[in-house]
Amino acid sequence: MKLLFNLLLAILFSIDHGAAFDTVSVSVMEGDSVTLHTGVKTNQQEDIKWFFNKTCIAHISGDFSKICTDVQCNNDTERFRDRLKLDNQTGSLTITNTTNTDSGEYKLQIFSSRDSEKIFSVSVHGAAERDEVTRKEGECVTFDPGVIKNPNDVMKWYFNDVLIAQITGDQSQICTDDQCKERFRDRLKLDNQTGSLNITNINTTDSGLYKLQMMIINSSFCITRVKRFSLTVTDSCLSSGEIAGICVGAGVGACVGAGVGAVVGVLLVAAAAGIIYHRHRIYTPPAAQNEGDDDNNPPPDQNDTEEN
């Protein structure tokens, strides 16, 4: 009877204080950054605490905040090593450059006129590998994010750390500065549905590191993921201008075949020219043979003929 009374008292206490419980599962790749949202905007009256596996790692009380300032939070190993960021306006917690040791349960407690609690179950998986891509001059290349793009996601493409294209919602931009426009000259194409980036008629100056920064936005969390593509462009047998002329109107998939076909055509023309030249050298007209015989073997003397 006493146990039942205590249980009923706890339920009434929860209802009276407006306690709410929620669990959110978050899956990230090693090296990603993840932000866990509180869903509130503080007015300096809430007391917000973050726990990792039951250890307090961040705290906001009024206009005072702290992150991992004691030995217990760092667990004697400086577990997070300055990788935690706390938003003083919302109380949201960001973990940068995640590692597999960051997997676990993150619990948010908000103490105010309406207490609430939320649990984030974070799983950190192996790091994304860099894609190595090799192409020849004049060919086309497509970099695929490899994820399903949601309407709210933000995607930014960088070439050697210079922003070259981005998608924000249903808005997209390509080469907003003069340096980018001069380098690629309308050779970039961005797919708003998938976020993939296509470069046509590539040349050796396009070699380098292409980086995609994806912001996967959810009402409860936000993941910032980075994917890298290393592009190496090698010289072609033909000049880039010749292959570009072949590729015009052929479409993305035909660029490679056009370059190979052009090389074969040049070799056939060269072979035909060699055959014609060889035949010209070995052929001598009959008239030239008669003239040569007259010079080297003059006709016999008429007197010698009569004596015989």
Q: 10-residue block means of pLDDT along the chain (308 residues)?
A: 42 42 88 93 80 89 75 63 87 94 94 85 90 95 91 94 92 88 92 94 95 93 95 76 48 44 44 50 50 50 47
Residue 170, pLDDT score: 82
Q: Kindly give the pairing relationship between strand 221-234 and strand 33-36.
A: antiparallel
pTM beyond 0.75: the answer is: no
Residue 264, pLDDT score: 42
Residue 54, pLDDT score: 84
Joined tokens for residue 176: 């907003």
Could you tell me if 32 and 224 are in contact, meaning their C-beta atoms sit under 8 angstroms apart?
yes
Residue 118, pLDDT score: 93
Distance between CA atoms of residues 96 and 30, nearest Å:
10
Residue 61, pLDDT score: 84
Q: Which of 186, 176, 40, 50 is nearest to 119 (CA)?
A: 50
Joined tokens for residue 77: 């190993």
Could you tell me if 261 and 243 are in contact, meaning their C-beta atoms sit under 8 angstroms apart?
no
